[in-house]
Amino acid sequence: MSTKKPNKLKILNDPIYGFIQIPNTLIFDIIEHPYFQRLRRITQMGFSNLVYPGANHTRFHHAIGCMHLMQKAVGVLRFKEVLISSEEENALYVAILLHDIGHGAFSHALEHSIVSGISHEEISLNFMKKLNKEFDGKLNLAIEVFEGKNPRKFLFQLISSQLDIDRLDYLKRDSFYTGVTEGNISSDRLIAMMNVKNDELVIEEKGIYSVEKFLIARRLMYWQVYLHKTGLVAENMLVNVLKRAKELAEDGVELFSSTSLKYFLYNQISEDNFNDETLNMFSELDDYDVLSAIKEWSNHEDKVLSLLSKMIIHRKLLRIEIQQKEFEKSDLDNKIKTVARKLNLSNNEAKFFVFSKKIANQAYQQEKPIFILNKKGKIKDIAQASDQLNLQALTTPVIKHFICYPK
């Protein structure tokens, strides 16, 4: 009986773009790899589903969507006679597919608690280098592009810039799944307006209004969705649960956890000791490990750990106040003392329930400009090219302060 080769040119159905084609067998094999399949078990928006119940989409969705948009971008640029070799094309698909592979469970919460010595970008790079060995060096160019070391600047700008493929997908996708229509940008139109001038990614002049809408949409999505006060509280409570668990683990307290979570709780992980074993453990860690541990910890004898866990599981979150100026230290200290007295905790333990932080968002950074190409072939920063005065205002970072405490 002859063994039939499996068909590796599949199509996937996406609720936003319709059918997405997997361009070649290398991409198919990367998608099939356990490292990439892990992204199915990591939500794109963390605890935003406590505010927007539909926001349960995963990083897998997002990565596949990015690859689809990258295919469109390559098609548009080639149509405009920008030379992109098949090797460069493939490198772009691989780099955009793997750009978020280093995200941990609940994305940024893990970075701020138990895997704090190393950023998700560095972990992504570690994953890419490991995959490169497995795929016999076929990812060399993708890694070069991802690190921004390729002389052709626009290749990196398609992966990471202020108007990159990553942002074009997540704004449209997050807007779709949350139901917040303000973020619904026209990614097709923006991609159709892309061009390359002096190896820089530029947008043709007639696409200027689409870029303005994109910048405004991103700002609205940040304040309305990504930095929504309820999501903010939940994420910070998760950080505190994991910090408390890490403290207890360091004191030798036995905690229920999966093998991979246990590894990160009971070991100090930093950039220096992040080796192959750590990477493999990290590749086993996802949202399910963290949630099942929190469910179990809600019955733990440590009061701080169990109370925080219960609050997250039952969505009985802390109260939050947001204001423009910093909160007085005396306010914070008084609240800490009150909570310590009420819950019969030490002041240090009460700090897990009362804390103050700041949030910031800058809609447009002039250090990495979005260039507009006019009909005469000259390029100009969008902030100068636009007739909208408010674009200049978007370059100022907006900083807000918040305080959380029990209701």
pLDDT in tens, 313-371: 999 999 999 999 999 999 999 999 999 999 999 999 999 999 999 999 988 888 889 99
Answer whether residue 91 shows pLDDT above 80. Answer: yes
Q: For residue 128, give both structure tokens.
A: 């890419």
For residue 80, the model assigns a pLDDT of 96
pLDDT in tens, 150-193: 999 999 999 999 999 999 999 999 999 999 999 999 999 999 99
Nearest alpha-carbon partner for 142 in 89, 207, 68, 195 = 89
Q: For residue 249, give both structure tokens.
A: 């683990």
- Walk me through the domains of the chain, giving residue ranges and CATH numbers: 11-226+367-394 (1.10.3210.10), 229-360 (1.20.1250.30)
Answer whether residue 259 shows pLDDT above 90. Answer: yes
Cβ atoms of 324 and 359 closer than 8 Å: no
Q: Is 355 helix (H, G, I), strand (E, B) or coil?
A: strand
For residue 117, the model assigns a pLDDT of 76
For residue 113, the model assigns a pLDDT of 79
Q: Which amino acid is at 21?
A: Q
The DSSP H or E segment spanning 390 is helix 390-393
For residue 1, the model assigns a pLDDT of 47
Cβ-Cβ contacts under 8 Å for 137 (sequence gap 6 or more): none
The DSSP H or E segment spanning 381 is strand 379-381
Answer whether residue 235 shows pLDDT above 50. Answer: yes
| HEC-encoded secondary structure of 132-161 | HHHCCCCCHHHHHHHCCCCCCHHHHHHHCC
Q: How far is CA 269 from CA 103, 123, 169, 331, in A?
A: 15, 12, 32, 35
For residue 3, the model assigns a pLDDT of 58
For residue 6, the model assigns a pLDDT of 66
Distance separating alpha carbons of residues 269 and 185, to the nearest angstrom: 39
